[in-house]
Amino acid sequence: MQITDQELLNLAKRGLIPGPNETQENFLNRISKFPFFQGSLDGSVLTTKLFGFSPDWIQVRYTNKGLALWEGGCTLIEESKVELLLRKRFEKKKKFLIYDKEEILAHEYVHAARMAFEEPRFEEILAYQTSNSFLRRYCGPFFKATWLTTTVAAIVFSGYVLSLFFAVPLWIMLIVGSLWKLGLFKMVRDQRIFKKCLNNLSHFLGAKDKVLSIMLRLTDKEIVTFSNYSASELSKHFKDFRDHSLRWKQISLLCDER
């Protein structure tokens, strides 16, 4: 069955995005397994405003099981189910630590929408666009679950415990400092590339409200490439790739929509 342009556009507005290497058959087979919930989910006001989609296919379950002490929520992705685990506190409260319930939901919806992507470099930056805090939008991606963050956290914690009983050796302080600098360098570099891509696409599209919706569907390589493209180069790329894949067809439909 050939999917129509309108159907593909409707799916885009539900946050159902074809992956970079996903065929139409595989895409339709994947999303056919998702449940359908009547109406939009909590947190969808933010994703609609920023990314142009409102999910109605993600299961939300309130539980503390499987969450780290500092986590407000996380997304579990399986072949036939996408489930968002939200801290039990949110059943009655709107805040957990520094996090707002709507922000956490919208953040996780972004990860769910990109479930067919294996593109981790800019995904946290995209997800953190849902935050109303500039500091979290900018620095939040530094604390994503990577080997670097985990290593730094482990060393800092170990150093703190040791400092309670002994003088911390200089080499430990140097390692911690070097890892923090490396992590900060990568964060600043990626934020700069992301911002340049966003600005270039904004000038090319002439509509700022569409930019994040388009970037949500880009690969890491495309974001880096577009950060160095002029408006004419972007125009040529979008024209040449319009029929390159189902994902690019959806991108083109969103660009053309008035």
Which two tokens mark 168?
């911390």
Sequence-ordered list of residues with C-beta below 8 angstroms from that of 177, at least 6 positions apart, any chain = none
pTM: 0.83
Sequence-ordered list of residues with C-beta below 8 angstroms from that of 211, at least 6 positions apart, any chain = 198, 201, 202, 205
pLDDT in tens, the chain (258 residues): 689 999 999 999 999 999 998 999 999 999 988 887 766 666 688 899 999 999 988 888 888 888 877 788 888 887 767 888 888 888 888 887 778 888 889 999 999 999 999 998 999 999 999 998 888 888 778 766 555 555 665 666 666 565 656 665 655 556 665 665 666 778 889 999 999 999 999 999 887 778 999 999 999 999 999 999 998 999 999 999 988 899 999 999 999 886
Sequence-ordered list of residues with C-beta below 8 angstroms from that of 176, at least 6 positions apart, any chain = 152, 155, 156, 159
Residue at token pair 């499987």:
66
Name the DSSP class of 79.
S
- Give all strands (DSSP E) within the chain, no chain letters: 59-62, 73-77, 82-86, 95-96, 99-100
Gap between the Cα atoms of 147 and 129, Å rounded: 23
What is the helix (H) or strand (E) element at residue 155, kind and residue range? helix 147-163
**CB of 173 closer than 8 Å to CB of 157:** no
